[in-house]
């Protein structure tokens, strides 16, 4: 075997693409040729360095969203009427659910995309904390915050006063989660900020709250009255669960 | 080539062709193809060397892949996606951006240059961005070969099928690409010293 041949074949050797016979031919040549042996060492080292480096690039989130949006969504099964929903007799004729039913904006609920959804929520939460852009309307008065949202979204989100329960209303703003415009209602307890993202759900079902920790933040998400809620904060799991309960109770009380 | 070769001609199949709204097919496509988005995007970035073009090419690639998903016969989906991406890049961006400056296959190989002291070139650790830049600076066909092999982890036969060349050509392009990379690598070290 000549050096020129060995210089090509040694790459196939490095890549594990040579059969045993050819591999031993190359190795025999390298064993007797100092220069080719040095080459092989160098290329092996280079390959190792490349394999150890992260040379891949992550697709931008916007590109991912565009592609996901272009693939038809799975057909959702007909929603089962929830027992709680029936018992409480929440009428479909209210402004909330009518708007929800008329809306074509759905939060994505497929489990495979939950991770991305939550990642988006974390980003939106972080953004709100860093850029001094916590609230477009700043007020502890829901008579100020609630009307601010009207006309800005497909349905006016419920804003509830929870000051008596230890959660102070800070204000509200519009944000984007999962490519959809959503309301962000901001509450505070001590030093902890809660962003409550409210989007329109595909149906009026009530779902139990699901708590997850993502990138160090606690989240609680649930559906109720045609809305999809996602609360996120750096407060403890129990505290955030408490927030969810207080919010639901307040919503039920018609606050 | 690949798409045409894999297309079935039966009437029933062609009736399904392009039915991107079939929810079951969309679901299977989503599960099979979306997990590889970062890899497809990586290949597009290295091939086109431009973020905005890569965005467009990847989106177009996924639309085409969904449309032609009925022609996918199972097995690893990555080579199939890469082949579609490559065709998308070629048709949309032409030879200019896709390949950059090409070298003739029979140009004098760099590895023939006699090394004064073979042991002298000790490759040091190089940071990731430098390696990416060196790979990006390679001429098109060599860049493509090295990215498919080193970054996308494909076998020679998979690369040969995607690129449409014999396995021997894949091997010689890789040898050539690595020689060029080594030259660049050693040059960085000289600057560092």
Q: Which pLDDT tens digit goes with each residue over A69-122?
A: 888 875 544 444 443 333 333 333 344 443 443 333 333 333 456 777 888 888
- Distance, in angstroms, between A63 CA and closest chain B CA? 6
Total domain count for chain A? Answer: 2
Alpha-carbon gap, residue B48 to B94, rounded angstroms: 10
pLDDT for A137 equals 85
Is there a single domain that holds both residue A147 and residue A246? yes
Would you say residue A67 lies in a domain?
Answer: no
Would you say residue A38 lies in a domain?
Answer: yes
CB-based contact B182 A15, cutoff 8 Å = no
Would you say residue A12 lies in a domain?
Answer: yes
pLDDT for A98 equals 39
Q: Considering only CB atoms, which chain A residues are within 8 Å of B126?
A: 49, 53
Q: Which residues of A28-42 are buried (b: 16+ CB within 10 A; e: fewer)?
A: ebbeebeebbbbbeb
Model confidence at A132, pLDDT cuts 50, 70, 90, reads low
Task: Nearest by CB to B175, from A11, A53, A68: name it.
Answer: A11
Range of the domain at A28: 3-53
Last residue of a domain, one of A11, A26, A53: A53
Would you say residue A76 lies in a domain?
Answer: no
Ranges A47-56, A115-124, B24-33, B89-98: which has the least confidence: B89-98
Would you say residue A10 lies in a domain?
Answer: yes
> Residue A147 maps to which CATH number?
3.30.200
Residue B2 has pLDDT above 70, yes or no: no
Q: Can you tell me the ipTM of this complex?
A: 0.77
Would you say residue A184 lies in a domain?
Answer: yes
Task: Say whether residue B131 is in contact with chain A using an 8 A CB cutoff.
Answer: yes
| Mean pLDDT, chain B, integer | 77
CB-based contact B128 A53, cutoff 8 Å = yes
Burial of B144 (0-12, 13-18, 19+ CB in 10 A): buried
Task: Say whether residue B56 is in contact with chain A using an 8 A CB cutoff.
Answer: no
Model confidence at B114, pLDDT cuts 50, 70, 90, reads very low
Would you say residue A96 lies in a domain?
Answer: no
Backbone region of residue B174 per phi and psi (left: phi > 0; alpha: psi in -120 to 50; beta: other values): alpha
Last residue of a domain, one of A53, A71, A94: A53
Q: Best of A14, A59, A66 to disrupt the B interface by mutation (most B CBs within 10 Å)? A: A59
Residue B13 has pLDDT above 70, yes or no: no
**A235 touches A223 (CB < 8 A):** no
Q: Give per-residue pLDDT as tens, A10-52.
A: 999 999 898 888 899 999 999 999 999 999 999 998 988 888 8
pTM: 0.54
Q: Considering only CB atoms, which chain B residues are within 8 Å of A61?
A: none
Task: Nearest by CB to B21, from A11, A46, A72: name it.
Answer: A72
Ranges A127-131, A229-233, A248-252, B42-46: which has the least confidence: A127-131
**A235 touches A194 (CB < 8 A):** yes
Would you say residue A213 lies in a domain?
Answer: yes
pLDDT for B125 equals 64
Torsion of CA B185, B186, B189, B191, to 10 degrees: -100
CB-based contact B59 A67, cutoff 8 Å = yes
Three-point CA angle A66, A67, A68, nearest 5°? 95
Which residue in A has a C-alpha nearest to residue B135's C-alpha? Answer: A55
* Residue among A182, A154, A181, A60 at smallest CA distance from A116: A60
pLDDT for B154 equals 92
Q: Considering only CB atoms, which chain A residues are within 8 Å of B155?
A: 17
Q: Give per-residue pLDDT as tens, A162-213.
A: 999 999 999 999 888 877 788 999 999 988 999 999 988 877 788 888 888 8
Is there a single domain that holds both residue A139 and residue A249? yes
Q: What count of CB pairs under 8 Å joins A to B?
A: 119
CB-based contact B171 A9, cutoff 8 Å = yes
φ/ψ (deg, to 5) at A55: -100, 0
pLDDT for A82 equals 41
């Amino acid at each position: 075997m000549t050096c020129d041949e060995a210089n090509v074949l040694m790459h196939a050797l490095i890549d594990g693409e040579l059969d045993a016979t050819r591999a031993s031919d190359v190795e025999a040549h390298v064993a007797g040729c100092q220069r080719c042996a040095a080459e092989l060492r160098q290329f092996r080292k280079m390959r190792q360095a490349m394999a150890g480096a992260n040379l891949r690039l992550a697709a931008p989130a916007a590109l991912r969203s565009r592609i996901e949006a272009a693939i038809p969504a799975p057909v959702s099964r007909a929603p089962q009427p929830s027992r709680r929903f029936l018992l409480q007799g929440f009428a479909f004729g209210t402004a909330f659910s009518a708007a929800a039913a008329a809306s074509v904006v759905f939060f994505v609920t497929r489990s495979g995309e939950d991770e991305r959804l939550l990642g988006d929520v974390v980003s939106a939460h972080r953004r709100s904390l860093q850029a001094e852009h916590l609230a477009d309307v700043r007020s502890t008065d829901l008579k100020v915050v609630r009307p601010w949202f009207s006309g800005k979204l497909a349905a006016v989100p419920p804003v509830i006063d929870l000051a008596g329960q230890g959660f102070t209303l800070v204000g509200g703003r519009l944000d984007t989660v999962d490519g959809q415009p959503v309301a962000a209602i901001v509450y505070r307890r001590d030093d902890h900020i809660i962003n409550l993202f409210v989007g329109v759900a595909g149906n009026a079902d009530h779902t139990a709250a699901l708590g997850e920790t993502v990138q160090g933040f606690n989240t609680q998400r649930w559906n109720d009255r045609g809305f999809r809620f996602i609360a996120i904060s750096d407060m403890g799991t129990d505290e955030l669960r408490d927030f969810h309960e207080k919010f639901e109770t307040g919503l039920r009380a018609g606050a | 080539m690949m798409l045409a070769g894999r297309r079935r001609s039966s009437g029933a199949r062609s009736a399904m062709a392009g039915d991107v709204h079939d929810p079951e097919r969309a679901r299977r496509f989503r599960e099979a193809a979306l997990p590889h988005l970062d890899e497809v995007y990586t290949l597009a970035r290295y091939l086109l060397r431009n973020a905005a073009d890569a965005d467009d090419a990847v989106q177009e690639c996924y639309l085409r892949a969904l449309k032609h998903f009925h022609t996918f016969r199972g097995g690893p989906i990555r080579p199939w996606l890469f082949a579609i991406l490559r065709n998308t890049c070629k048709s949309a961006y032409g030879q200019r951006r896709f390949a950059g400056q090409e070298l003739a296959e029979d140009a004098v190989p760099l590895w023939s240059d006699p090394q004064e002291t073979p042991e002298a070139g000790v490759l040091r650790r190089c940071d990731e961005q430098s390696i990416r830049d060196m790979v990006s600076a390679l001429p098109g066909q060599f860049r493509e070969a090295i990215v498919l092999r080193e970054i996308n982890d494909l076998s020679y036969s998979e690369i040969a099928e995607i690129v449409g060349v014999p396995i021997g050509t894949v091997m010689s392009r890789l040898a050539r690409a690595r020689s060029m990379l080594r030259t660049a690598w050693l040059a960085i070290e000289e600057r560092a010293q």
